[in-house]
Amino acid sequence: MRHAPAYKSVSGWNALLPARDVRQDPPATRRFRNIVIGAGFTGLATAHRLAELCPDEDILVIEAATLGESASGRNSGYLLINPGEPSANATDFTDDWATRQMAMVQAGFDLLRTRVKTHGIDCDWNSDPLAITAAATTRVEKSARETRQKYQEWGLSPREYDRKALTRIIGTDYYRYGLQSLTRALVQPAALHRGLGDALPGNVRLLENCAVRALGGDAPYRLATDRGEFVADRVFVTNNLHARFFGIARNRMIGIYTYGAFTPELDDRDLDLLGEEPDWGILPAHRMGTTMRKTGRRLLIRSGDSYEREDAPEKARAMLTRLYRNRFPHMKTHDLEHVWGGVTAVTHNGRFTFGQVRPGIYASAGCDGAGVLRGTIHGTLLAELACDSRSPLLEERMKMGGPDWLPPEPLRYIGASTLLMLEQWRAGKER
């Protein structure tokens, strides 16, 4: 089991940004009150909140990769408030579970928006996104219409789009139906990730390119790393899938890789073929479908799923090129400039591991592919839990259960791989 990510290619989002100075010089002190393992959106939110609640305590954040290159900088940049599945709530939750879920994620969005504004983080934040959930087949259109009916039961009235409207907006008649998604903003995720790290308060020290190799003993805890040993009274494990390396949620989540690519910058002719809007996003109405974004002068296309291991970049490129060509056969070429993979932690029932797992050790893991906003609020609440800073939102979170148990290997591999192949086949033209 790997203790840190090892991607085969750089994040396309990060490749579009200027080079940055990586913070990889270890601090002079080795003793900290708080150490956060993992500087994704969850870990950075934990550190920000800890610094607010404990301004006189030193905090060390250890990141195995560099900001912008970990999973946080490899997503599609949609800030969604979609609720999880009903099963992700405790049995004593009432029928307004969706409202409760969305209120929690909305709180994460509000925190993130405030932080971006306060620190002037330049991440191409689009607060009025044209983001549409689209269906390419009659079967999935039916499901999407049912989703809209459910939204209406929750007091929402998302706009609908027919094939003609979709063709005008995105420049292809590939999709037959769409509805406004629950996307609150579109961002450049690597720029957002890097900006949040650069905005850490003065009592927080960030150490990148440093993997934690072992976490042992009782408090004060000793952490063996690539840069020597560190000691902390409290440890926050916020490295998502890689929390399994420390025995946390080991049989509760699996790793699924998805793949993204950017076209080169498009000339005016090809850019016009992507519709009249300067910026748009398409989310799939089927969970194995394809995500797209028109952003700047490029098209982003993201799809594919593989269990626990990243496919070769050549294989991902061929798959994404085919999907691009299927949707936009009229483009001059279907070249892709940047191709990359990213891993997410998936649980069987959509629930997070959250809370104190041992005295002095707190964890949040299992983002289920929606880690930007959920990670932001879970990291914030994790810090509040450790500092005994109770709030109605934290009380809500503590009522939710955790992820279901998963069978051991090789049964886990057989089950997950079979389900992936089946769902990909069912997706058909949605891919």
Give residue 88's pLDDT band: very low, low, confident or very high (50, 70, 90): very low
Segment 315-362, tens digit of pLDDT: 999 999 999 999 999 999 999 999 999 999 999 888 889 999 999 999
Task: Give the whole-angstrom CA distance, residue 91 versus residue 404.
Answer: 14
Averaged pLDDT, 88-107: 69
- Does a structural domain hold residue 421? yes
At 6 the pLDDT is: 82
Q: Which two tokens stand for residue 40?
A: 């994704």
DSSP assignments along 277-305, one per residue: -SSEEEEESSTTS-EEEEETTEEEEEEEE
Q: Does residue 408 carry a pLDDT above 60?
A: yes
Which distant-in-sequence residues (6+ apart) come within 8 Å of 354 by Cβ? 363, 364, 378, 381, 382, 397, 400, 402
More confident residue, 371 or 14: 14
Model pTM score: 0.95
Helix or strand holding residue 13 (H, E): helix 12-15
Q: How far apart are CA 32 and CA 45, in angstroms?
A: 18
**Do 177 and 150 sit in the same domain of this protein?**
yes
pLDDT digits (tens, 9 = 90+) for 246-268: 999 999 999 999 999 999 999 99
Q: Find where tokens 């993992």 sit.
A: 38
Mark whether 60 and 180 lie in a shared domain: no
Question: pLDDT of 286-325, one tens digit each?
Answer: 999 999 999 999 999 999 999 999 999 999 999 999 999 9
Q: Is 120 left (phi over 0), alpha (psi -120 to 50) or beta?
A: left
Range of the domain at 108: 12-114+190-253+349-400
Residue 84 pLDDT: 64
Task: State the pLDDT at residue 305.
Answer: 93
d(CA 220, CA 405): 30
CATH number at residue 360: 3.50.50.60
Kindly state whether residue 97 falls inside one of the protein's structural domains.
Answer: yes
The answer to whether residue 412 sits within a structural domain is no
Of residues 297, 292, 290, the one with CA closest to residue 270: 297
292 belongs to a structural domain: yes
pLDDT score, position 367: 83
pLDDT tens per residue, range 191-226: 999 999 999 999 999 999 999 999 988 899 999 999
Residues 64 and 105 in one domain: yes
Record the tokens describing residue 223, joined without a space.
């952490």
119 domain residue, yes or no? no
- Cα–Cα distance between 102 and 191 in angstroms, integer? 25
Residue 77 belongs to a domain: yes
Report how far residue 179's alpha carbon sits from residue 186's, in angstroms, rounded to the nearest whole number. 17
- Answer yes or no: do 178 and 305 share one domain: yes
Q: Is residue 411 part of a domain?
A: no
Check whether residue 353 and residue 337 sit in a common domain. no
Same domain, yes or no: 378 and 367: yes
User: Beta strands 353-358 and 361-365: pairing type?
Assistant: antiparallel
- CA–CA separation, 70 and 416 (whole Å): 24
Helices (H) and strands (E) in the chain, counts: 11, 18
**Which among 351, 357, 366 has a CA at the least distance from the CA of 404?**
351
Do 96 and 226 lie in one domain? The reply is: yes
Task: Write down the residue that tokens 């609720």 correspond to.
Answer: 83
Residue 146 lies in a domain: yes
Do 39 and 154 share a structural domain?
Answer: no
Whether 315 and 208 share a structural domain: no
Residue 94 has pLDDT above 60, yes or no: no
Residues 49 and 135 in one domain: no
Closest to 373 in 3D by CA, of 99, 1, 105, 49? 105
pLDDT in tens, 123-156: 999 999 999 999 999 999 999 999 999 999 888 9
pLDDT in tens, 161-184: 999 999 999 999 999 999 999 999
Please tell me the total count of domains within the chain. Answer: 2
CATH number at residue 171: 3.30.9.10
CA angle 261, 329, 189 (to 5 degrees): 20
Residues contacting residue 94 through CB under 8 Å, at least 6 positions apart: none
What pLDDT sits at residue 4? 57
Same domain, 269 and 242: no
If asked whether residues 155 and 197 sit together in one domain, one would say no
- Residue 82 pLDDT more than 90? no
DSSP 168-207: HHHS----SEEEE--EEEE--HHHHHHHHHHT--TTEEEE
